[in-house]
Structure 1
Amino acid sequence: MENFIHRLLSTLLLICISVTCRAATLNNSSDQRRAADTCADPTLADVWVEAYNPSLTAHIIRSPWVFVASIAMGLDWQFQGPVFRAWENPQEFTVPLYEFNKPDNTDILFLPSTDGNPPTVAGYENSGITGYVYATQVCGSVPLLVAANAATTDHWYTTNVLHHSSIVASGWTDEGVAAFVLPLTSGKLFLLVLLNQSHS
């Protein structure tokens, strides 16, 4: 019963994050002043969240609905919080963000296509396009930073420079910038993350 309640609360939390951030995006005046001829429409961007699967020792970033579906199927993804905003569908001025998995699913990478062709990574399988991001830092975007743990073959993604520096200082390897994404825009996200942590 406790597991069911935890899954239900996680699902509700993911739905709240998506709705809260979409509303914040629509009301963000700096996003509204975009240059229509150089930037993708930020009001169409959605929040992306990160989750961790302890049985795979892998982190993944996705739109919240993917995790709602995964939780309903009984998959062991543990919600870690919102990370950035990006687009699920192609937008002008964006590039595809591809997901790559090791054949045994013990590591997941995210890489953009900068030339219109899917990138290739030795030892990984292309799982397809997971979203759309900027290839360079434009239109108020921020770097999506990557850190890797060779011992567990895990990659972790964040837009928070302090968090990235801290995990690298703890022994993870700095793997630079994966792509450029829109920052989170709502202060309510912190409260939602605290609520989720209090129920885990």
Structure 2
Amino acid sequence: MKKQLFAIALMMVVASCKKTAEVPHVPVNKISSKVKMPAGVRSAGDGVWDVLGYGYDLTGEYAHSNSATYQIIDVAQMDLDHPTLVENSGAETGTDQLVYGYNAANYLHELSVKINATGGTDLLLKGTIDAHFTDTQKFSSKYIYGSYGKVAIKRRVYMPAPLLSLIKSYRTADFLNIVQNESAATIVAIYGTHLLTNVALGGKLELIYKAETSSSDRTSAANAGVQMKFLGIFNLNTTGTSYTSSQGSSNFNETAFVRTVGGNAGAAIIGTVTFNGSGTPSATYNTAAWSAGVTDANAEMIDIAPGSLIPIYDLIDDPTKKADVQNYITQYLATNNVTLTPDPVYEFYSPSLNNHALDLDINLPAAHPGWNYNAQPFKAFTSQVAGSVPVYQFLHTWDGSHVYTRNPYPGWSNYINDGVAFYAYATQVAGSVPAYEFYHAGGHNHFYSTNINASAPYAGWAYNGLPFYVMPN
């Protein structure tokens, strides 16, 4: 509930959604023992080509060897035959990587855009969140996300991705055998969804940030929050998008996952950091020993060149099997896409004002005496999700009554727009239900319910319309 609302009170005393059929991921350790697995390790580390020519799963982590799979292309042989087309560049550079979003979906969209991946969705790389945050609410619309990394690139390894016919001529015997004899699900379980053709190797110091915020500018709050926490934990300045500390001051319930990638394993850093009410981290780290130990020999994949991933179905000759794998990958990526969960909307009542109000914060009465928890009528979204629209809270200037509407300019006398209360739907979508408005003329009071008969037991209340659609409890 907005500050303005209480200031006045104190002065007074998508189109319908289509659900995609679920395509479960088949873990490698669950594949039938009858399948002849590829030779070698599941991700490379030879100190030369590393994961170049290996598979990669776009539902996994962003540019991390955890999401690399098995070898598809014999890069060493390609280099022997075409030394000018396969590169192992040793030019060392340093850079920072900053990505942030106003919720998990927006954050993953920005990550997906960085590598310009294809697959029918731009909400890939769900494992970047899944692998590091275990709470069941991590995909709630209330959370902002960001990641910040200081990167030391030791070398880049790449092959000529546009020369698909040439690349296909170096497919491994294991890959060809598995493609010929196994199902689309098994092929994707073993090799992932895409081929790595251009990767950066080196070391990375990384922080992945999750928090709630009361700021109306959630994007700026995420940007400021992730950079402020990186500075606080590692005592290292950031060089990302400019921010002010005030932009991150409204963040709370903050958590960060920190780790090093590549470098001296004996000085590696990994852990989860929490923050107290003042923003002080539960742990800090000195990175000098690790950063001094990043060498060419212990470099790992830390980035993927934009547009360099090749879908593995483009490496399949048989048109029927290619279509099967392409269809499976499309459904697999859609099924493993991030779906934001709605948050409870709470109803509060002020006896002195004889007024109802809605808010996403259950602790509202602690900050505003006189308001009491009354119900939890439905769920909605803290941040905007696909197909949703803002629901604005309007406050009557002389009696404090609250009205919620999708129209930011309804033209009501003596009502002021007090900002976005939550996000809901203008029309009914899959899983949503109507939220009905009821009005008491004598008390100039409004309340909202998913039960069209909610006002029946109470005298003086009348149905007043269907302003928006919400998610049921």
Common topology (TM > 0.5): yes
The amino acid that maps onto 2:344 is V
Q: Which of structures 1 and 2 has the larger relative contact order (alpha carbons within 8 angstroms, sep 6+)?
A: 1
Q: Secondary structure at the match of 2:384?
A: coil
Which of 407, 410, 416 in structure 2 is aligned with 1:125? 416
Which of 440, 462, 470 in structure 2 is aligned with 1:149? 440
Name the structure 1 match of 2:84.
none
Give the TM-score taking structure 2 as reference length. Answer: 0.28
CA–CA distance in 2 between the matches of 1:118 and 1:89?
A: 21
CA–CA distance in 1 between the matches of 2:137 and 2:439?
A: 30
Structure 1 residue 86 corresponds to structure 2 residue 380: yes
Please, which runs of 5 or more residues in structure 2 have no aligned partner?
1-135, 141-333
Structure 1 residue 62 corresponds to structure 2 residue 359: yes
Instruction: Give the RMSD, CA atoms, in angstroms.
Output: 2.5
Check the 8 A contact 1:22/1:46 in 2, yes or no: no
Q: Secondary structure at the match of 1:132?
A: strand
Give the TM-score taking structure 1 as reference length. Answer: 0.63
Q: Secondary structure at the match of 1:177?
A: coil
Check the 8 A contact 1:120/1:126 in 2, yes or no: no
> How many angstroms does 1:123 deviate by?
2.3
Q: Secondary structure at the match of 1:79?
A: strand
Check the 8 A contact 1:133/1:181 in 2, yes or no: yes
Q: Secondary structure at the match of 1:72?
A: helix
Name the structure 1 match of 2:13.
none
CA–CA distance in 2 between the matches of 1:128 and 1:173?
A: 26
CA–CA distance in 2 between the matches of 1:58 and 1:22?
A: 31
CA–CA distance in 2 between the matches of 1:74 and 1:99?
A: 17
Name the structure where helix makes up a greater proportion of residues: 1
> How many angstroms does 1:93 deviate by?
0.3
Check the 8 A contact 1:52/1:79 in 2, yes or no: yes
> How many angstroms does 1:163 deviate by?
1.7
CA–CA distance in 2 between the matches of 1:118 and 1:90?
A: 19
Check the 8 A contact 1:97/1:130 in 2, yes or no: yes
Check the 8 A contact 2:378/2:450 in 1, yes or no: yes
Which of 175, 182, 190 in structure 1 is aligned with 2:471? 182
Return closer, same or farther for 1:83/1:92 CA change in 2, 3 Å cut-off: same
> How many angstroms does 1:22 deviate by?
5.5
Check the 8 A contact 1:145/1:159 in 2, yes or no: yes
CA–CA distance in 2 between the matches of 1:44 and 1:126?
A: 27
Structure 1 residue 49 corresponds to structure 2 residue 342: no
Return closer, same or farther for 1:137/1:53 CA change in 2, 3 Å cut-off: same
Q: Write the mapping of 1:130-141 to structure 2, written as runs, cut at 5 A.
A: 130-141=421-432
Structure 1 residue 173 corresponds to structure 2 residue 462: yes
The amino acid that maps onto 2:425 is Y
Q: Which has the larger radius of gyration?
A: 2
Q: Secondary structure at the match of 2:377?
A: strand
Check the 8 A contact 1:57/1:106 in 2, yes or no: no
Check the 8 A contact 1:98/1:118 in 2, yes or no: no
> How many angstroms does 1:79 deviate by?
0.8
The amino acid that maps onto 2:420 is I
CA–CA distance in 2 between the matches of 1:173 and 1:123?
A: 22
Return closer, same or farther for 1:78/1:177 CA change in 2, 3 Å cut-off: same
Aligned length: 141
Structure 1 residue 112 corresponds to structure 2 residue 409: no
Which of 77, 89, 96 in structure 1 is aligned with 2:390? 96
CA–CA distance in 2 between the matches of 1:22 and 1:161?
A: 30
The amino acid that maps onto 2:406 is P
Percent identical among aligned pairs is 28
